[in-house]
Amino acid sequence: MALVGPMASFLIAFLFLMLSFILRGISEPLWASASYLAMINAVLAIFNLFPGFPMDGGRVLRSIIWKVTGNLKKATKIASRVGQGFAFFLIFIGILQILRANLLQGIWLIFIGWFLHSAAVRGYDQVMVQSLLKGVRAEDLMTKNFETVTVDLSVQSLVDDYILKKRERVFLVSDKGSLKGIVCLEDVKSTPSEKWAETKVGEIMTPKEKLEAVSPDADGSQVLNSITTKDIHQIPVMEGEKIAGIICRSDILRFIQFRSELGV
């Protein structure tokens, strides 16, 4: 599947090349445009075939190494290193172009090199995280002994009796074990301090209907993806209508760090 992209680019390049042959002698501007598009697509296809992750050629290289070694992390690491090497090569060529007074071309090559290097590093990190979270479920990551507050608690009491004493940033808001929402430090900060005494938690919390929640058996990678894509700092774990626990972004990061350091 990784070769589909380059093959499609080659096909488009071929079609534009054939079109340029037809247009030659008929329309100079159209012939030039077709020739240019044929060249661009051919260059793009060749570029993507370079065996450096995350380019298509790099994905093929990773698949081959993975098949030989049976180790996805090792295969991704090697393909990523090749991709980073290619990125540094482009940056080096870009610097040479700038020194030769080809400023625009040099800057463009440096930008492409920087982008590829970032993508290669990010691709490897993603595989590492997925590997470290393999077989991990939400119940393995969640905090079960969580603090809850009621909807009618004043924000002043929340600050004095919970945030400052418990030193926690987020609290579940419940009513007889039923989740009503989540209130966090950011909600408090957005409320003027002179109104804390008269404002109830239920007025500033994020209601249950707007929350992203997961079940206890949800995959760890799915939980992390929900937190990052929704740009949230915590996510409740629901078992039916009951609160089973809460997972904070920091909980997942600590779990990944410990597992990485222990090599398990």
Q: What is the DSSP string of 182-197?
A: EEEHHHHHTS-GGGTT
**Sequence-ordered alpha helix ranges (H) in 133-248:** 138-141, 155-157, 164-166, 185-189, 201-204, 220-229
CA gap 54, 119 in Å, rounded: 6
| Helix or strand run (H / E) with residue 44 | helix 28-48
Region of 176 on the Ramachandran plot (φ > 0 left; ψ -120 to 50 alpha; else beta): left
Determine the pLDDT at residue 61.
82
Q: Residue range 243-256: average pLDDT?
A: 84
Range scoring the smallest mean pLDDT among 29-33, 64-68, 90-94, 163-167: 29-33
SS3 255: helix
Tally the C-alpha atoms within 13 A of residue 153's C-alpha that lie toward its C-beta.
23
Residue 1 pLDDT greater than 60, yes or no: no
Contact between residue 12 and residue 41 where contact means Cβ atoms under 8 Å apart: yes
Number of Cβ within 10 Å of residue 29's Cβ equals: 8
Contact between residue 49 and residue 6 where contact means Cβ atoms under 8 Å apart: yes
Determine the pLDDT at residue 177.
66
Q: Residue range 187-204: average pLDDT?
A: 89
**Where, residue-wise, is CATH 3.10.580.10 in the chain?**
138-262
Confidence label for 95 from pLDDT (cuts 50, 70 and 90): very high
CA gap 143, 237 in Å, rounded: 9
Determine the pLDDT at residue 263.
66
SS3 234: strand
Most confident of 64-73, 153-162, 179-188: 153-162
Region of 167 on the Ramachandran plot (φ > 0 left; ψ -120 to 50 alpha; else beta): left
Confidence label for 156 from pLDDT (cuts 50, 70 and 90): very high
Determine the pLDDT at residue 264.
62
Tally the C-alpha atoms within 13 A of residue 76's C-alpha that lie toward its C-beta.
16
Determine the pLDDT at residue 3.
63
34-49 residue pLDDT tens = 787 888 878 777 777 7
In angstroms, the Cα distances linking 150 to 32, 59, 169, 200, 202 are: 71, 51, 16, 9, 8
For the segment(s) 138-262, the CATH number from 3.30.365.10, 1.20.1090.10, 3.10.580.10, 3.40.190.10 is: 3.10.580.10
Q: Which residue has the higher pLDDT, 225 or 2?
A: 225
Rg, the chain, Cα only: 27
